[in-house]
């Protein structure tokens, strides 16, 4: 087999699948998807709830249904699909992008590619990352792990559950486990506002009478072999624990839904520079990373809450990757994008003259009645009013085509009069 390929897509989740479809539409051949799991679809396979595809397919699908649509589309292309194949190393050798693969059928193989699309998704933050003090018994796990156990493998983690963090996965699991007869004692959130989408707070907690403890955190874990209780402490507005205001709840399981981190270990090996705020690669308007020929999309780039946007972003990345292999990607000297007031992160960091660009961002905190501005030399180039902005909801807008090289600042502010 020829080990010099055209485009390598690392990861066969929604991002990788959409990228493959677009590359095919663009007439690119010799495209390979590498997926370490036995099946394509990524994290969607364990998301058996509905709510996927509302933007893209204009109907409410479950995660597996959404994935299935794309898998069928990919199956109609001439993409080479390698499942049970993990990419274990990625580096540049004499300008060539080199991938090392470990496949259960083919064994260890070394490939080179003209372009690489990173679509590795993200992983969940765990107990160590947030430093919860206490003992270290069994029964503490991430919500996504529990989701996989319940939805795919057929095991319930326990009977008395507490969830730390109000991210979407935790909320979905609160409902899922309640439906299985598990007693979900509550969801504990350190911030004064929920981490997940509003619709999930309503449908997964309120409808099941599960208490949400905002401005609280888990300050201690008890239990020798299996967890038997946790100590919950209120947090003041400096995010410091209020030691007079604490209580203990019994439980046999603690689920952590405390955020996702883009999985960029491979990217770093290849020399890709990461953004401190997104923990994903720094990219330009072409979704190209700081290493020429390496593109990124989906949760590996920044954590998305809606899969439809993942698919769209992947299509954009694939379109420019196609131009790259066709040697028609000629953009130089872009316009810098600066994140301003109330913007937690924003990408891309660079746009190009004469092309409209989709910009993605998240606000730092929830605010009501606010305006999003993109300004250049004091002149407004884009503006939109929001009734409410939330850190849990990503904002996307299309920045119109610009000329010149002066940077653009994007920020939130009150209505200018």
Partner 1 sequence: MKHFDVIIIGAGVTGAAIARQLSRYSIKTAIIEKETDVSFGTSKANSGIIHAGFHSPPGMLKTELCIKGNRSFDILKEELGFSFERRGELVVAFNDEELQILKNLYAQGIKNRVHYLELIGTARLREMEPNLSEDIIGALYAPTAGIVEPYEYCFSLIENARQNGVAMFVNEKVAVIAKQLFGNFVIETDSGLKVSARFIVNAAGLHADEIASLAGITSFAITPRKGEEYLLDRRVGNLVTRIIFPVPTKDSKGMLVIPTVEGTVMVGPTAENINEKDNFSTTREGLRCVFENAKKMIPGIRLHDVITSFSGLRPVATGDDFIIGTTSVQGFINAAGIQSPGLTASPAIAQHVEDILVKEGLSLKVKSSWNPKRTPFIKLRHSIATRDYAGYIKNTAGNPGYNKLVCRCENITEAEVTEAVSRGHTTLDGIKFATRAGMGRCQGSFCTYRVLKLLEQQTGIPIEKITKKGGGSEIIKFPMGKGAPHE
Ligand X SMILES: Cc1cc2nc3c(=O)[nH]c(=O)nc-3n(C[C@H](O)[C@H](O)[C@H](O)COP(=O)(O)OP(=O)(O)OC[C@H]3O[C@@H](n4cnc5c(N)ncnc54)[C@H](O)[C@@H]3O)c2cc1C
Residues lying near ligand X in the complex (CB under 6 A) are found at: 10-16, 34-37, 42-44, 47, 51-52, 86-87, 119-121, 144, 147, 168-169, 172, 263, 266, 298-300, 304, 306-308, 310
Whether the CB-CB separation of 172 and 204 falls below 8 Å is answered with: yes
- Signed CA dihedral, 224, 229, 233, 239: sign only: positive
The residue behind tokens 């605010």 is: 367
Peptide bond into 348 cis (omega under 30): yes
Residue number with CB closer to partner 1 (241 or 391): 241
**Taking CB under 8 A as the criterion, which residues in 58-87 touch partner 1?**
84, 86
CA–CA–CA angle 14, 356, 289 (5° rounding): 50
Q: Which residues of 291-315 are buried (b: 16+ CB within 10 A; e: fewer)?
A: bebbbbbbbbbbbbbbbbbbbbbbb
Pick the closer one to ligand X by CB: 120 or 343: 120
- Structural element, H or E, at residue 19: helix 14-25
Q: What is the DSSP letter of 226?
A: B
SS3 assignment, position 65: helix
Among positions 221-280, residues that touch partner 1 (CB under 8 A) are: 221, 224-226, 252-253, 265, 268
Least Cβ distance, residue 272 to ligand X (angstroms): 14
Question: Which residue, 73 or 269, has its beta carbon nearer to partner 1?
Answer: 269
One of 3, 135, 206, 245 touching partner 1 (CB under 8 A):
135
27 binds, among ligand X, partner 1, none (CB under 5 to 8 A by kind): none
Q: Which does 272 bind (CB under 5 to 8 A by kind): partner 1, ligand X, none?
A: none
Minimum gap (Å) between residue 335 Cβ and partner 1: 31
- Give dist(CA 91, CA 77) in Å, integer: 28
Q: What are phi and psi of 139, to 5 degrees?
A: 100, 5
Closer residue to ligand X in complex, CB, 119/221: 119
What is the rounded (10 degree) CA torsion for 356, 360, 366, 368?
20
Closer residue to ligand X, CB minimum distance, 79 or 147: 147
Helix or strand (DSSP H, E) at 316: helix 307-325
Rounded distance between C-alpha atoms, residue 314 and residue 67, angstroms: 14
Rounded least distance, CB 119 to ligand X, Å: 5
Q: Which of 181, 354, 378, 414 binds partner 1 (CB under 8 A)?
A: 181
Cβ 266 vs Cβ 118: under 8 Å: yes
Is 94 near partner 1 (CB under 8 A)? no
- Residue 377 and residue 404 in contact, taking contact as beta carbons nearer than 8 Å: no
Contact window for partner 1 (CB under 8 A) among 21-29, 179-187, 210-218, 362-370: 179-187
The distance of closest approach from Cβ of residue 164 to ligand X in the complex, given in angstroms and rounded to an integer, is: 15
Q: Is 299 helix (H, G, I), strand (E, B) or coil?
A: helix
Could you tell me the end-to-end alpha-carbon distance of the chain, in angstroms, rounded to an integer? 66
Residue 319: alpha-carbon gap to chain centroid: 21
- For 9, the token pair is 């897509």
154 contact choice in partner 1, ligand X, none (CB below 5 to 8 Å, kind-dependent): partner 1
Binders in 100-129 for partner 1, by CB under 8 A: 100, 102-108, 110, 123-124, 126-129
Residue 219 touches partner 1, criterion: CB under 8 A: yes
The listed partner (partner 1, ligand X, none) that binds 195, CB under 5 to 8 Å by sort, is none
Task: Give the pair of three-digit tokens for residue 10.
Answer: 């690392």
Considering beta carbons, is residue 86 or 342 the nearer one to partner 1? Answer: 86
Cβ closest to ligand X, residue 17 vs residue 235: 17
Min CB(212)–ligand X separation in Å? 18
Binding of partner 1 by 48 (CB under 8 A) = no
> Distance between CA atoms of 47 and 366, rounded to whole angstroms?
27
**Considering CB distances under 5 to 8 angstroms, the limit depending on partner class, which of ligand X, partner 1, none binds residue 100?**
partner 1
Residues within the interface to partner 1 (CB under 8 A):
36, 84, 86, 88-89, 91, 100, 102-108, 110, 123-124, 126-129, 131, 133-139, 141-142, 144-145, 148-150, 153-159, 180-182, 219-221, 224-226, 252-253, 265, 268
């Amino acid at each position: 087999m020829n080990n010099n390929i055209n485009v390598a897509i690392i990861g066969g989740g929604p991002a990788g699948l959409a990228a493959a479809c677009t590359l095919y539409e663009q007439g690119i051949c010799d495209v390979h998807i590498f997926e370490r799991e036995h099946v394509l679809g990524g994290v969607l396979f364990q998301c058996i709830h509905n709510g996927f595809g509302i933007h893209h397919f204009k109907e409410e699908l479950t995660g597996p249904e959404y994935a299935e649509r794309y898998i069928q589309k990919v199956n109609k292309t001439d993409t080479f699909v390698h499942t049970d194949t993990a990419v274990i190393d990625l580096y540049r050798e004499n300008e060539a992008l080199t991938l090392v693969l470990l496949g259960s059928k083919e064994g260890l193989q070394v490939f080179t590619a003209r372009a690489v699309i990173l679509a590795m998704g993200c992983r969940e933050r765990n107990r160590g990352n947030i430093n919860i003090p206490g003992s270290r018994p069994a029964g503490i796990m991430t919500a996504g792990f529990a989701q996989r156990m319940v939805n795919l493998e057929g095991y319930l983690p326990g009977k008395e559950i507490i969830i730390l963090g109000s991210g979407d996965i935790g909320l979905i699991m609160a409902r899922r486990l309640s439906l299985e007869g598990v007693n979900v004692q509550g969801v504990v959130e350190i911030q004064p506002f929920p981490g997940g989408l509003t619709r999930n707070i309503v449908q997964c907690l309120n409808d099941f009478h599960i208490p949400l403890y905002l401005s609280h955190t888990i300050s201690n874990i008890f239990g020798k072999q299996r967890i038997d209780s946790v100590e919950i402490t209120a947090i003041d507005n400096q995010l410091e624990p209020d030691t007079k205001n604490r209580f203990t709840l019994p439980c046999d399981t603690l689920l952590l839904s405390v955020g996702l981190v883009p999985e960029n270990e491979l990217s770093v090996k290849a020399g890709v520079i990461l953004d401190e705020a997104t923990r994903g690669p720094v990219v330009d308007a072409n979704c190209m990373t700081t290493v020429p020929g390496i593109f990124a999309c989906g949760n590996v780039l920044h954590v998305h809450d809606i899969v439809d946007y993942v698919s769209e972003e992947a299509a954009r990345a694939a379109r420019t990757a196609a131009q790259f292999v066709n040697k028609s990607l000629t953009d130089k000297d872009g316009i810098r994008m600066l994140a301003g007031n109330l913007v937690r992160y924003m990408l891309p960091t660079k746009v190009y003259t004469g092309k409209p660009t989709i910009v993605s961002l998240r606000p730092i905190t929830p605010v009501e009645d606010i305006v999003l501005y993109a300004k250049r030399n004091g002149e407004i180039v884009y503006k939109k009013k929001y009734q409410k902005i939330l850190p849990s909801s990503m904002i996307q807008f299309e920045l119109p085509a610009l000329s010149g090289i002066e940077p653009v600042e994007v920020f939130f502010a009150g209505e200018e009069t």
